[in-house]
Amino acid sequence: MKKTVFAGFGGQGVLMMGYLFAVAAMKDGKEVTYLPSYGAEMRGGTANCTVVVSDEEIFSPVASSPDYTVIMNKPSLIKYENLIKAGGTIFFNSSLIDYHLIRDDVVLEKIPANEIARQLGSERTVNMIMLGAFVAKTGLTSLESIMNSLQETVKGKKTAVMKLNRKGLDMGAGFVLKELRNEND
């Protein structure tokens, strides 16, 4: 059972990342729960969602201590640094967040997502870049499953938009995989 928290400002596509991941995992045949934060949320406020993926029945959709976090803003990074499981991985958008972790028992995955998005020519792909990196590193689902889930979710979107999203996923995935290769060299 793996618990992941996606967190950031409202409008950054945080809930969308979690939703696409949850649908993809469901299509892979996994048990899954998707729990969005709700409250007096608005654009610019904080938003987060918890996605649990498991081969067995999922009891609590709430994460005491997540295995993974995908973080899009600094307040969320500070909050989830305290909560994440020892040995867990924090994926964070290093283009937006300048922060040095206090804990040394977690893995850090810094993704310069806005810089990558600028190479792609669309800053709106930032969340797909983060998601691509997350999926490539964790292997909790595949990029193909994410694309299928995206196609189902945003039915009727132009092919160009879908292609851009696909590129975003691939660039995010490519970034962490290249890092992995460099480490192994």
Partner 1 sequence: MNDKVLMRGTHIIGETAVRSGCRFYAGYPITPQNELTEYMAGAIAKLKDGTFIQAESEIAAVNMVIGASMAGARAMTSSSSPGISLKQEGISFLAAQELPAVIVNSMRGGPGLGNIAPTQGDYFQATRGGGHGDYRCIVLAPAYSQELADITRRAFEYADRFTTPVMILIDGMMGQMMEPVVFPEPIDPRELPPKSWVLDGAKGRPSRIIKSLILDVVKEEEHNWKLYRKYENIKKEIQEAETYLTEDAKLVVIAYGTAARIAKGAIKRVRDIGLKVGLLRPLSLWPFPRRILDDTSRFVKEFLVYEMNTGQMVEDVELALKRSSEIHFYGRPGGIVSTPDEIAKVITSLYYRRHLEED
Interaction residues for partner 1, span 3-62 (CB under 8 A): 19, 22-23, 26, 31-36, 38-40, 58-62
Q: Which stretch binds partner 1 (CB under 8 A): 63-71, 93-101, 116-124, 136-144?
A: 63-71
Distance CA 99, CA 145 (A): 32
Closest approach of partner 1 to the CB of residue 181, in Å? 34
Closest approach of partner 1 to the CB of residue 77, in Å? 20
Spatial CA neighbour of 99 closest among 118, 73, 70: 73
Judged by beta carbon, residue 155 or residue 181, the one nearer partner 1 is: 155
Coil, helix or strand at residue 72 = coil
Closest approach of partner 1 to the CB of residue 123, in Å? 28
Coil, helix or strand at residue 47 = strand
Where do we find the tokens 């729990």? 35
Distance CA 62, CA 123 (A): 31
The length of the chain, given as a count of residues: 185
Residue 108 half-sphere exposure, CB side, CA atoms within 13 Å? 15
Judged by beta carbon, residue 4 or residue 125, the one nearer partner 1 is: 4
Judged by beta carbon, residue 10 or residue 36, the one nearer partner 1 is: 36
Residues binding partner 1 (CB under 8 A): 19, 22-23, 26, 31-36, 38-40, 58-65
